[in-house]
Every structure is written in structure tokens, then in C-alpha cells.
Amino acid sequence: MDSPRSAFLAGARDQAPGVIGNIPFGLITGAAATAAGLDPLLAIAMSILTFAGAAQLVAIQLLADGAPALLIITAVAVVNLRMMMYSAAVAPLFATLSLRWKCVIGYLLTDHAFALTLARFGDGDAAAQPHRRWYYLGAGSLMWLVWQISVAVGALIGLKVPASWSLEFLIPLMFIALVAPALATRAHLAAAGTAAAVSLAAVSLPLKSGLLLAALAGVLGGLLVERFSRDPEVAAGP
């Protein structure tokens, strides 16, 4: 990567496999937004403003349920808390950049961009990697572009789907698909099980506050199991 252009193209190339896997996710997110009652333009605007797949799904589900704005904002903030850890991890790589660059980097921060950038530059000498910002920009902008197109297409297609199909039910199904492969330890299983149990028990709480209660209970359950379990790994077989 001896030039900004080559670094940008390298980032986009490394990001491509992850982008392909996110196209169905974006289509479902857009379709679910219009099925939940959002105007397609509002759904697209929300996607551009937030650029956070899981947080968008949470917001859409709560909007469909008629939750108050404060709860929606809080829930989205909780879902995106991991971005604080990501930003802290990559901050040393971009510490000398201008505020404008840092704003762009923060906006384009995703799980994929974080993982790719840290894997390539995390252990190296920053002074010997002058074009790392362009690599990050290539990875992040490709994901942004494909995600926004996918959400927009999904939102427009969602208008043509009969309401009787209940596309908003795709949101919990999508979360199950995202979470299930990550349940690799006893702590993960405890967190998921605790959150599910509390969410069912607290479904009648006002203002949809059972969601936040379930999230907090899940985190606590996972931490307790991780702390006291001697063998956190789930057995892979007999």
C-alpha cells in the first residue's frame, strides 16, 4: 500500500466478503421498517443517520410497538455501547489526524471495519503505515454504500408486500440468526437465556421498559457465569 489509492482499494477488497453477507440483512431491515409503518424516505434517512444495523432493528421494533422516544434512544445507545470499546482500540492508529478525519472514521466504524483495521495495523509501527486512514476509508465506505442501497431497496420493496405478511416479524428472526452462532460459551448461553426469560416475564411493564431490564439482566447473568464457571466453553460434542 504505497499510495492512498492502493490503500483504499485494499480496504475495499478486504471488506468485500463481509459486504456480501450484509446485503440480505440490509434488505430485511429496510422491508421491516416500512412494514412497521415508517415512510420509505424516513427509513432511508434513519439508516443514513445511524448506520448501525442492529441498532436500526431495535429502533424499528420499538417504533412498531409504540415505545416512547426516550426509551428508543436509550435502547439504541445500549446496543451500540460496543462502539466505545472499538473506538478506544483504534484511537491510537488515528490519534494524529484532524477532527474532520476523526468524525469520518467514527461515523464509518462498524464491526467489520474495526476487525479489518486492527488485524492489519494493530501490531505495527504507526509511522510506517502512513496510508492506514485510506485503508479504513476503503473498508468503511464500501460497507456504507452497499448497506444504504440494500436498506433503500428493502424499504421500497416493503411497500409492495401485503400487510398480512407481517414482515416486522422478520426482526426477531434476524436477531436470532445473528445471536445464535455467537453462543459459544456457557456465559453466552446464560446471558441469552436470562435475557429471554426476563423479557417474557417483563413484557407487560409500561413503556416497553422490559427490554432494557432484560438486557441488563442478561449482561449480569453472563458475567456471573463467566466469573464462577471453571469450564466456560460449551462442549462441542460427546
Tens-place pLDDT, residues 27-83: 888 988 888 888 899 999 999 998 988 888 888 888 877 888 888 888 888 878 888
Residue 185 has phi, psi (to 5 degrees) of: -130, 165
In a domain, 154, yes or no: yes
Same domain, 103 and 12: yes
Helices (H) and strands (E) in the chain, counts: 11, 0
Same domain, 74 and 151: yes
Inter-residue contact 211 to 199 (CB < 8 Å): yes
In a domain, 46, yes or no: yes
Which pLDDT belongs to residue 213? 82
In a domain, 117, yes or no: yes
215 pLDDT tier (thresholds 50, 70, 90): confident
Same domain, 91 and 187: no
What total number of domains does the chain contain?
A: 2
Rounded to two decimals, the pTM is 0.73
In a domain, 105, yes or no: yes
- Give the residue numbers spanning the domain of 110: 4-165
Inter-residue contact 22 to 53 (CB < 8 Å): yes
Same domain, 77 and 133: yes
Same domain, 71 and 189: no
Same domain, 101 and 139: yes
235 pLDDT tier (thresholds 50, 70, 90): very low
The string of pLDDT tens digits covering residues 96-147 is: 899 999 999 999 999 889 989 988 887 665 555 778 999 999 999 999 999 9
Contacts of residue 155, Cβ cutoff 8 Å, sequence gap at least 6: 30, 31, 33, 34, 38, 40, 43, 44
In a domain, 233, yes or no: no
Q: Which of 138, 151, 74 is nearest to 112 (CA)?
A: 138
